């Protein structure tokens, strides 16, 4: 690994940043879309089941196949990779958020209504805070998926640590394979750790 760092140290930094960039944008889009959509679907449970089923179907498509499907629509590079990974992030976040919101104790909701809370206040001050442990579990799961699957984005020219891995496989160079694999594992563990710290800060005490 010392020889690898000496030869590819700068390139490793660039490709790690590419991996982080792709994963962060994809996950952020997933959160921005999935959480408000889950709140909206509370009013229409029948449609909610259909939407969640569709996102579950997307989850069953192999990541490489979904990335390949993006090429005719968006070409190659980061954009199709981000769109594909965003679609992958939807299911765990959407499902967990919807389940968390619907499982809030009805007695608590009735009490909040009795205090005169509006529908928006019920969502922002009651349902979302109480559902946050389940929501964060979905976000953490999606984050780990996205960090790992972003490695495949190099197949469509998006860069990232997958460049090392696939170059190592094609050239039979174990140092390139390890040089890409170990940082991906480290990023996944670090992402989960940081989200765990964030979870402790935003979840109400006593939950």
Consecutive sets of 10 residues in the chain, 207 residues long: mean pLDDT of each?
74 91 94 93 87 83 84 88 90 91 86 83 87 92 92 87 88 86 93 91 69
Residue 45 has what pLDDT?
Answer: 84
Residue 1 has what pLDDT?
Answer: 66
CB 134 within 8 A of CB 127: no
Residue 85 has what pLDDT?
Answer: 92
CATH superfamily of 2-202: MetI-like (1.10.3720.10)
**How much is the pTM?**
0.89
Sign of CA dihedral 155, 157, 159, 163: positive
Tokens at 52, concatenated: 């969640």
Residue 66 has what pLDDT?
Answer: 84
């Amino acid at each position: 690994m010392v020889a690898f760092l000496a030869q590819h140290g700068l390139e490793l930094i660039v490709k790690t940043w590419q991996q982080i960039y792709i994963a962060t944008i994809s996950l952020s889009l997933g959160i921005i879309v999935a959480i408000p959509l889950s709140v909206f679907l509370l009013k229409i449970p029948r449609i909610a089941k259909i939407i969640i089923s569709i996102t579950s179907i997307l989850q069953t498509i192999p990541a490489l196949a979904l990335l390949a499907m993006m090429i005719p629509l968006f070409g190659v590079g980061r954009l199709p990779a981000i769109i594909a990974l965003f679609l992958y992030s939807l299911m765990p976040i959407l499902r967990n958020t919807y389940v968390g919101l619907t499982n809030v104790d009805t007695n608590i909701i009735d009490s909040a209504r009795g205090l005169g809370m509006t529908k928006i206040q019920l969502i922002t001050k009651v349902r979302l805070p109480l559902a946050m442990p389940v929501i964060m579990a979905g976000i953490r799961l999606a984050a780990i998926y996205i960090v790992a699957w972003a490695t495949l984005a190099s197949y469509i020219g998006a860069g990232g640590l997958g460049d090392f891995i696939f170059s190592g496989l094609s050239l039979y160079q174990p140092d390139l394979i390890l040089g890409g694999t170990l940082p991906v594992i480290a990023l996944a563990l670090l992402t989960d750790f940081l989200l765990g710290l964030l979870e402790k800060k935003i979840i109400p005490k006593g939950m």
